[in-house]
A = this chain, B = another copy of it.
Amino acid sequence: MDDIKIVLSEAEIPTHWYNIAADLPTPMPPPLGPDGHPIGADALSAIFPQALIEQEMSSQRWIAIPEPVRDIYRLWRPAPLFRAHHLEQALATPARIYYKYEGGSPAGSHKPNTAVAQAYYNQQEGIRRLTTETGAGQWGSSIALAGAMFNLTVRVYMVRVSYQQKPFRRSMMETWGAQVFSSPSVETATGRAALERDPETPGSLGLAISEAVEDAASRADSHYALGSVLNHVVLHQTVIGLEARAQFNKIGVMPDVVIACCGGGSNFGGTAFPFLMDKAAGREVRLVAVEPDSCPTLTKGRYAYDHGDSACLTPLLPMYSLGHDFIPPGIHAGGLRYHGDSPLVSHLYHLGLIEAVAVPQLATFQAGVTFARAEGILPAPESNHAIRVAIDEALRCKESGEAKTIFFTLSGHGHFDMASYDRYFAGQLEDYVYPESDIAAALAGLRAVS
């Protein structure tokens, strides 16, 4: 079979990231400061390097990928595009299913695509220390890897309950040389105050963000790194969609539908935005963001100005949100448990250029198991959300007889998530839909994007 795997040469690793900000039909609403006025670059310079702030604000269409970043990319890029022949057969669908596999990176997911770039720019501007927060540890391990590549000290504030219950991701970060602190920690004033209030607190992501930002802002040699949501993060992830587009060009095929899971939005944006160029050129292509039923930011949230963190330390971002106090239930796709969404993804969704769908947890695991048995690769629970929707599309094609081309990104492998599969097989996982009334209450206080 000729199109089992569509490969690019090393020279075909993208030389530039694609900045969708250059091609927006209407401009993005700006982020706002605590005073309600748009913030400028200076508000970010305490915690981000100039190069990333420029990317965050840029409307230049193509932004060059530095060679040292491309050199690290070569450890796992170009990432393969696979035709899912066996899955098609298992589903008896006339659809053609393709997937881009991002699990080959040393951290096992797409996250290093931006972590490596962020570490590089910080190192170039003389920064020696990077701070970040992590929940389950996916982002923390990616920035730990990137820090090791560019000789930066990485300090990760890991939510205490995860620090205690998930030692494996912590060990991974430590193997790459990162310092990992159980948050709240004694390292920061915020952490010390929290510990004084409640020595037994399990911690929270909001608190960990506060600690990481305080740590970065308090020292001139330190900056902060974020794993999703922001424009420059989504920008770096466009290597996924750009490579996929080049791979489809190679076989003279273009997808009818592009699917990716969506938490903070960088995997979805990175996958889908390059295909918006085709849509702008008049080609019919559907772009579908998949989120969990239990954290339905795009499908049930409100397009509003909200903080990125529960502690209200970040600027107000124009985004779909369930409210910064929203606490999703403990679903097993930790990477999709975020109350907000990338402002770029939110803007495009608001404009009707992309679609969103929410899926229940059990159906995603069922899809992941079907995929693993057919195709071999064992997906992360986050990726199972995209697989669920790809399978549903393929089954609709079976009904209708259409031979659509379906494409999704398999954002990571599930080798760190076997405890979740274990619970799934043991019948211990549940579907959880957040009550509509609770969502309405959470949204009531948000200021709409005008």
Closest residue of B by beta carbon distance from A7: B10
**Chain B residue at minimal CB-CB distance from A173:** B418
Q: In the complex, what distance in Å separates the CA atom of A425 from the CA atom of B172?
A: 11
Q: Which of A7, A106, A375 has the most CB of B within 10 A?
A: A106
**Are A377 and B75 in touch, CB under 8 angstroms?**
yes
- What mask results when residues 421 to 441 of chain A are scored 1 for a CB within 8 Å of chain B, else 0? 110010000000000000000
Given pairs A168-B419, A171-B422, A175-B414, 14 additional interface contacts (CB within 8 A): A4-B71, A4-B74, A5-B75, A7-B10, A106-B372, A106-B378, A149-B376, A167-B422, A169-B418, A171-B425, A174-B425, A175-B378, A175-B425, A176-B373
Q: Sorted from nearest, which 3 A-B pairs have the closest CB atoms?
A: A168-B418, A171-B422, A171-B418
Which residue of the partner chain, among B9, B72, B421, contacts A175 with CB atoms under 8 Å? B421
Binary interface encoding of chain A residues 144-177 relative to chain B, with 1 for a CB under 8 A from any of its CBs, else 0:
0100110000000000000000011111101111
Residues of B near A168 (CB, < 8 A) are: 418-419, 422
A378–B416 CA distance with the chains assembled, in angstroms: 13
For this chain, the copies found in one complex come to 2
Closest to A104 in B: B104
A439 nearest CB across to chain B (Å): 33
A415–B108 touching, CB < 8 Å: yes
* Residues of chain A from 362 to 383 with CB closer than 8 A to chain B in the complex: 368-369, 372-378
Q: How far is the CA of A373 from the CA of B148 in the complex (A)?
A: 5
19 residue pairs from A and B, CB less than 8 Å apart: A1-B71, A4-B71, A75-B376, A86-B149, A106-B377, A106-B378, A106-B413, A148-B373, A148-B374, A171-B419, A172-B415, A172-B418, A174-B425, A175-B373, A175-B414, A175-B418, A175-B425, A415-B415, A415-B416
Count of residues in A whose CB is under 8 Å from the partner chain:
46
User: A120: CB under 8 A from chain B?
Assistant: no
- Determine the distance from Cα of A372 to Cα of B419 in the docked complex, in whole angstroms: 25
Q: For the complex, is A82 an interface residue (Cβ under 8 Å from B)?
A: yes
| A48, B376: Cα distance in complex, Å | 24
Docked Cα-Cα span, A28 to B415, in Å, equals 40
Distance of A422 Cα from B107 Cα, bound (Å): 17
> A372-B148, A373-B177, A421-B172 are known contacts. Are A5 and B1 too (CB-CB below 8 A)?
no
Q: Nearest chain B CB to A73's CB is how many angstroms away? A: 10
Within 2-57 of A, Cβ neighbours of B (below 8 Å) are at: 4-5, 7, 9-10
